[in-house]
Amino acid sequence: MTAEVRIQSLTEMLKLEPNDVFLNYSLGIEYMALNKLNEAEAQFKNVLSINADYIAVYYQLGKLYEALAINSEALKSYKLGLEKAKSQKNNKAINEINEAIFLIED
């Protein structure tokens, strides 16, 4: 299945469940894979409007901003995600986000 087909499928599913966090997040990931960064950013921001505690989206937004060479926004996103990960005691996310921050600040 191609990314375009997955995007079409996700878009159809979102018509039925527009506030589904995972569907919105998945659509953002598919847009990232196609380097459609504006669409990906919109999807990720939509995820945050639905559920600001969804840690993975902060990491993906950070990666998106890195791809756009906006490191200040990437760091901001990573640091917000790190706060969420710490409050949820999600050690895997804490480690991944700390590594992303280290790579920018290094």
Considering the entire predicted model, what is its pTM?
0.93
Q: Helix, strand, coil % (nearest 5) of the chain? A: 80, 0, 20
> Dihedral sign, CA of 92, 47, 13, 27?
negative
Residue range 20-55, pLDDT digits in tens: 999 999 999 999 999 999 999 999 999 999 999 999
Mean pLDDT across 58-83: 97
CB atoms within 10 A of CB 6: 16
